[in-house]
Structure 1
Amino acid sequence: MTQRYYVFLISSVAAFGGLLFGFDIAIFSGTIPFIQSYYHLSEAQLGWTGSSLYVGCIIGTLITGPFAEAFGRKLPLIIAAAIFMVSSVFMGWSSTHSALIVWRIIAGIGVGAASMLSPVYIAEVSPAAIRGRMVSINQLTIVTGILLAYFSNYILADVENNWRWMFASGAIPSLLFFVFVFMVPESPRWLVSKGKLKKANAILSKIAGDEAVQEIALIQSRIQKEVKGKFSDLLAPGVLFMVMLGITLAVFQQISGANAIFFYAPIIFEKAGMNVKDQLFQQIMIGAINLIFTVVAMLLVDKLGRKKLMLAGSSLMALWLFLVGICYYYSLFDGYLLSFFVLAFIATYAATLAPVTWVLISEIFPSKVRTLAVSISTGMLWVACFALAYGFPVLIAVLDAPQTFFLFSFVCLTYFFILWKFAPETKGKTLEQFEMETIRH
């Protein structure tokens, strides 16, 4: 077994957390046509059912960081896998709506943990030469999980107790993750930070071969030089602006309209007159396009640059959403026109805002406050995600479909001008070079 193959293997296991992350956020959409009538849910209750997962995500994000620092990366990954597995079964066989909400919040804790742990673990076990490629596996598995959830919903649509089996189907990939995560090693970087050099050396020998000793020395040197930032450091000249920009990037990614389609596609296509089976098939198309254009983004982001992709994405998304609104306004539902505009919107989002937002958030902050600033931006992202998931069913009921999509189009157009005026270009610059430029300005 070559060293790179070993790194790929353990990174793929860790990236299963990303797959379950994608699966859990997407599986709910297929249950909508069935649980709304089963529990007699109002639009606000449906929004709360969908968004309750993100309450758990916020909790999971807040508690996982300190837990992972104290106990390592492997144990929290095992716990996250167990949470996914147990919550999937209990969501599916909840006896009451309140019980379903409780188990969705618990599932969200696992989602929040995985959203943090999987990329961190992969980055810490991967050699520098292939780190970017390995971390990108996590984004691929997230969109793969979304597509698998859509397939699961489509296959189970005609089964008795379909919505229960849709939720419970998440236990299958969760079980695989739970079994395989026991076989991955602990993060060598964490082991070095705790003075467990013998164990770290054994793992790094499999990852880095003869360079294991040098890697340990390098890790020790980095740990010694690390200076943890304080909240007061976020108010420093230039830094506060970047923090506000990071929050803006995170929030606009969530309120651009894409997650409304990922979470509530059945409602959107129902208003176009489609039956349940056609609604769920449209979701498979959305998931496939999302996966394909995520790969496109990975090929483009280092060639075209971050700002160009974000500007192109926000402007095109505004156009596609406006045309979706026109389809609803004039009832243009014959043929494939509405589906084309929705899929074009998802393709644009997947190739631009979806991945590039994360890239920029990881690059724009000074090293001293990077961890703290990324944590704040990510936390606000989950808050915005919760707000959208809760509010969309109410919004589309109050405003009607055309006005809702015109509103999202306006949001994306506004974002274009914010990006054009304030977003930096980080392409081709080291983190240190960009930090020095930021300080000078």
Structure 2
Amino acid sequence: MSRPEEDAAEPLIAEIQDEGEERRGQDGRGEEVNESSIKSPGAFIWILTVVAGVSGLLFGYDTGVISSTLISINTDLSSRPLSTLDKSLITSCTSLFALFASPLTGVLADQWGRKKVILLADILFVVGALWQAWTTSVWGMIGGRSVVGLAVGSASFVVPLYISELSPSPFRGRLVTVVCLFITGGQVVAYIVGWLFSEHAHGWRWMVGLGALPAALQFGMLWFLPETPRWLFKVGRKEAAKRVLGRVYGPDAEMKGVINGVLRRVEKEILEEEDARGERGGVDEGKNGWRAKVERVNDGVSQLAAVGGNRRALIIACMLQGFQQLCGFNSLMYFSATIFSMVGFRSPTLTSLSIALTNFAMTLVAFHFIDRVGRRRILIYSIPVMIVGLALCAVAFNFVALPKQRASSIELRADEVTGEAARLWPLVILVAMVTYVAGYAVGLGNVPWQQSELFPLSVRSLGSGFATATNWGSNFLIGISFLPMMEGLTPVGTFALYTSICVVGYVAVIRIYPETAGLGLEDVGELLREGWGVEESVRRARSRRREVDERVRDGR
């Protein structure tokens, strides 16, 4: 993008160069050296992360609450029981509209800023929740869920982007994982609320309507928090960016070098991008018009496709987001109560709570280890656990005497399944699903949302939007196809298919996903510039771990 003429004339990189040289250390990479000395995130960044993370709570709540809602509606909508098609449409329309919203709000996040898109999502969350609570028809419910989908699609990519652009690099993984903690926490809350209201007449209306409350609270709190410094710098507001970074890193004199190092790296990246496009020192005439904005979007899409590093970043981000959904996890979030009812559990909603609690507990594990172990290694360790859980689930379903009713039926009783299988194999299925969810929550549930760190600033918002659209497109396929697959392929075939997808994902991660933990946002682009960077990233990660171990031994 082009900057105002007065900013272009005196780059900040010249202003801070002398001081930066003193602070960078022998390797000339000031930001990395200084940031690695930071012991913990400050109070300000924690406040930002928690407030922004409320969107994750809404994301998780709206994902999890549908499981209880589907078995509680009965004949409240359109005066008839829900059909398989009704359930599939109600469930999948959220993902479909999230798919539409993600790339669109990726463009808006570049034009308006990251914070304004989150505020827009809050408004949509409130409207969608109240719409669902008051509707009396199936199509009305689909409409309300679609509005929620627009909100979820917007928030699910921009909140990790917002946090990653504000976070110090040594803690970026953990702070973005806070969003995943809120997501899993929201799912736990959804199951608890679903259980509490499941026996009340029209209780499902409270289940869906309560989603408006956190959105309204976040809207009020986020209004007083700042925009990200990288977006501010990108639009020429350099002093504002510097003030925000000062609040993130603290007022200490020693942090001044860290702030200058970050700003220098951001400006260097912008200047290199402008040189590559032949825009250095120019001003776009009519740059605020719609035609110029469309041209910038087209330019961003072209950069994603034509520039090797950007293209590799997009492939990795879309791959991880696609596997996150195609492995079948959200089929448990949407239909776990239906599954547990099908195999004979008397309280399927309460049993489903074990899935949500496992997801939340193991996300805490990911929070602790994602920056220490690394993104790549945590996937390599956790995906095999998912494969074992899914394979065991497929085997167990082979020994469960399922009722003759369709797999989507929720009007089942435990005594319809007789014999030893009624007691043993349903428990095996529960254990297998818990194992699978544990592996998912540690790795694939969190790592794909680190996607923003893969892209350079010029295409970060747009690339994250496309990757998130891949997530929601895959989510839509899972939501619309799960019940028909359970009927057509049988549960054994369905879970065997999910197992094979995990195997393919595991191989892809090993071959093309580099280790990005501990790297500055501007460093990852350099890693992907000439290739996938897997070997180089692993070498750097080992070196960083040795340095950390040495500091621990020396008591520094």
Which bin holds the TM-score, normalised by the shorter protein?
0.7 to 0.9
Describe the SS at the equivalent of 2:318.
helix
CA contact (8 A) 1:234 1:373 kept: no
Spell out, residue by residue over 1:78-100, the C-alpha distance to the aligned partner (whole angstroms, 9 max, x if none): 22112112211111111211111
Aligned counterparts of 1:203 and 1:436: Cα–Cα separation in 2: 29
Aligned counterparts of 1:411 and 1:317: Cα–Cα separation in 2: 11
Residue 69 of structure 2: which of 31, 35, 44 is its match?
A: 31
Aligned counterparts of 2:532 and 2:207: Cα–Cα separation in 1: 51
Match of 1:329 in 2: 398
Match of 1:51 in 2: 92
After superposition, the Cα gap between the structure-2 partners of 1:123 and 1:382, relative to the gap in structure 1 and judged at 3 Å, is same
Which moves more between the two structures, 258-267 or 178-187? 178-187
| Alignment-mate amino acid for residue 423 of structure 2 | D
Describe the SS at the equivalent of 1:158.
coil
CA contact (8 A) 2:55 2:155 kept: yes
Give 1:18-417 correspondences, 5 Å limit.
18-35=56-73, 37-39=75-77, 40-128=81-169, 130-197=171-238, 199-200=240-241, 202-207=243-248, 208-209=250-251, 211=256, 214=260, 218=264, 219-226=266-273, 230-231=301-302, 234-235=305-306, 243-275=314-346, 278-331=347-400, 332-334=421-423, 336-359=427-450, 361-362=451-452, 372-417=462-507
After superposition, the Cα gap between the structure-2 partners of 1:320 and 1:190, relative to the gap in structure 1 and judged at 3 Å, is closer
Aligned counterparts of 2:477 and 2:338: Cα–Cα separation in 1: 17
Aligned counterparts of 1:412 and 1:258: Cα–Cα separation in 2: 11
| Alignment-mate amino acid for residue 48 of structure 2 | I
CA contact (8 A) 1:87 1:106 kept: yes
CA contact (8 A) 1:44 1:391 kept: no
Kindly state the Cα deviation for residue 312 of structure 1 after the two structures are TM-superposed: 3.9
Query: TM-score, with normalisation over the residues of structure 1?
Result: 0.87
Kindly state the Cα deviation for residue 415 of structure 1 after the two structures are TM-superposed: 3.3
Match of 2:22 in 1: none
Residue 12 of structure 1: which of 50, 56, 62 is its match?
A: 50
Give the unaligned 5+ runs of structure 1. Answer: none
Which moves more between the two structures, 44-53 or 172-181? 172-181
CA contact (8 A) 1:3 1:206 kept: no
Kindly state the Cα deviation for residue 343 of structure 1 after the two structures are TM-superposed: 0.7
Aligned counterparts of 2:443 and 2:220: Cα–Cα separation in 1: 35
Aligned counterparts of 2:179 and 2:146: Cα–Cα separation in 1: 23
Aligned counterparts of 2:355 and 2:532: Cα–Cα separation in 1: 42
Kindly state the Cα deviation for residue 254 of structure 1 after the two structures are TM-superposed: 0.8
Q: Which has the higher helix share?
A: 1
Kindly state the Cα deviation for residue 36 of structure 1 after the two structures are TM-superposed: 5.6
Kindly state the Cα deviation for residue 142 of structure 1 after the two structures are TM-superposed: 1.5
After superposition, the Cα gap between the structure-2 partners of 1:126 and 1:432, relative to the gap in structure 1 and judged at 3 Å, is closer
Query: TM-score, with normalisation over the residues of structure 2?
Result: 0.70
| Alignment-mate amino acid for residue 12 of structure 1 | V
Which of the pair has more CA radius of gyration?
A: 2
Give the unaligned 5+ runs of structure 2. Answer: 1-39, 275-298, 401-420, 535-556
Percent identity between the two aligned chains: 26
After superposition, the Cα gap between the structure-2 partners of 1:83 and 1:366, relative to the gap in structure 1 and judged at 3 Å, is closer
Describe the SS at the equivalent of 1:81.
helix
Aligned counterparts of 1:222 and 1:95: Cα–Cα separation in 2: 53
Aligned counterparts of 1:52 and 1:440: Cα–Cα separation in 2: 38
CA contact (8 A) 2:100 2:469 kept: no
Which moves more between the two structures, 348-357 or 415-424? 415-424
Match of 1:438 in 2: 531
| Alignment-mate amino acid for residue 274 of structure 1 | F
Aligned counterparts of 2:108 and 2:504: Cα–Cα separation in 1: 39
Aligned counterparts of 1:122 and 1:232: Cα–Cα separation in 2: 24
Instruction: Count how many residue pairs are aligned between Structure 1 and Structure 2.
Output: 437
Aligned counterparts of 2:227 and 2:304: Cα–Cα separation in 1: 32
Describe the SS at the equivalent of 2:201.
coil
After superposition, the Cα gap between the structure-2 partners of 1:129 and 1:29, relative to the gap in structure 1 and judged at 3 Å, is same
After superposition, the Cα gap between the structure-2 partners of 1:371 and 1:49, relative to the gap in structure 1 and judged at 3 Å, is same
Aligned counterparts of 1:118 and 1:176: Cα–Cα separation in 2: 16
Which moves more between the two structures, 366-375 or 249-258? 366-375
Describe the SS at the equivalent of 2:82.
coil
| Alignment-mate amino acid for residue 144 of structure 1 | G
After superposition, the Cα gap between the structure-2 partners of 1:130 and 1:308, relative to the gap in structure 1 and judged at 3 Å, is closer
Describe the SS at the equivalent of 2:365.
helix
